[in-house]
Structure 1
């Protein structure tokens, strides 16, 4: 085994679990399955060991700054760096969730955007030159989900900075709390969070170009998971196909892109292919 390291956040179940499974089969290095709940994470590792696979486990709660720092320090001391980082951890409210729009917006953006951003800021200094980052976005992360043309233009501004993007996320939360969000932002806090993550991907790529690090966002498909209330037609292993492609097989020229479940690069503000 080489000294290479791959990390998948939120990977004790669903697509993240399948990505760990695929990495264990194809990646010449150590694969870390992480989860905020230690017992669930250890059970997931034990289940994969029954398949003859051998991921390592470490607790990681991306909403807990201390947890991120503890994990970062562990990886730095034990391995010295990271070669693949898959940002998979996320939350989604169900369509019939009773929480007010403002609550859904604040909690969803906190996890799916700000916590991912914080995790990246802590871990990116450890990513080795030539490394790959895969941000798990969604069909909901396509710009078509933002009704406002002005907002779309701000999101895809090639000079957009992380502070400016974070301010956009805060403006959305405030609009949701005021109940004025729908005309410009739409009615899905999950969509806004994934649009934010996709925009972040493109900014991160610009920032990391000089380190030969590839950062891409991917729509894994509509998968049968807890997050989709098990309505998706795809298996978790089918949902892992495109993320694994970006982590392991994509040409080095694929960077700062929005990639579809069939491994094709698509325009972030153009038409979306079907099926999803």
Structure 2
């Protein structure tokens, strides 16, 4: 080992697009064929939606663009991670010591969601269901589409990123 650089000859890489169900299934098939099981899953996929500059001449286009970027952000950061996890759970169940690690940013903390009702709902982990999380995300997208984020007390800066990170942290995984 030289300094902090160490090479590993037994490390394999496999491309994965968490937003593509075929890519997720292909990864699962690869792991099953190559290793027969999965011992640890580290979820760290995320994108950050881009903040657009206000342009009063085309407000409708800006709202539409923000909505599409928010949808993509939620699809990758929350739904993609959820899909990968659920697809790989059968391989984790074959391990003697399975582990799932979800990595999220500082923005995954509930204090970045200003609506007290949503904070309360998301903090009640024992009562959490996927349906409740999906409903909250749909409400967020509807409010974004109608340009009502500020009115309904959602975050307005990096909104979809913050909401997707909080949703991921709230997501209650099935028992392995």
What's the TM-score, normalizing by structure 1? 0.53
The residue aligned with 1:126 is 91
Question: Are residue 53 (structure 1) and residue 22 (structure 2) matched?
Answer: no
Q: Per chain length, whose mean CA-contact separation is higher, i.e. which structure has more relative contact order (CA < 8 Å, sep 6+)?
A: 2
Structure 2 unaligned residues grouped into runs of 5+: 55-61
Displacement of 1:97: 6.5
Given that 2:49 and 2:70 are in contact with CA atoms closer than 8 Å, whether structure 1 keeps it comes out as no
1:1-276 maps to which residues of 2 (within 5 A)?
51-54=6-9, 55-96=11-52, 100-127=65-92, 128-157=95-124, 158-182=126-150, 183-187=152-156, 188-200=159-171, 203-204=172-173, 207-208=174-175, 211=176
Displacement of 1:92: 0.5
2:49 aligned counterpart, secondary structure:
coil
Q: Mark the structure with the bigger radius of gyration.
A: 2
Given that 2:50 and 2:69 are in contact with CA atoms closer than 8 Å, whether structure 1 keeps it comes out as no
Q: What CA deviation, in whole Å up to 9, does each residue of 1:90-141 have, x standing for no partner? A: 1002445786431232111011011111111111111124211111111100
CA-based RMSD of the aligned residues comes to 2.0
Q: Distance in 1 between matches of 2:161 and 2:170?
A: 14
1:89 aligned counterpart, secondary structure:
coil
The residue aligned with 1:260 is none
Displacement of 1:175: 1.1
Q: Distance in 2 between matches of 1:78 and 1:154?
A: 42
**Structure 1 or 2: more helix by fraction:** 2
- From the superposition, tell whether residues 103 and 74 of structure 1 become closer, same or farther in structure 2 (CA, over 3 Å): same
What's the TM-score, normalizing by structure 2? 0.81
Given that 1:83 and 1:132 are in contact with CA atoms closer than 8 Å, whether structure 2 keeps it comes out as yes
Displacement of 1:71: 0.9
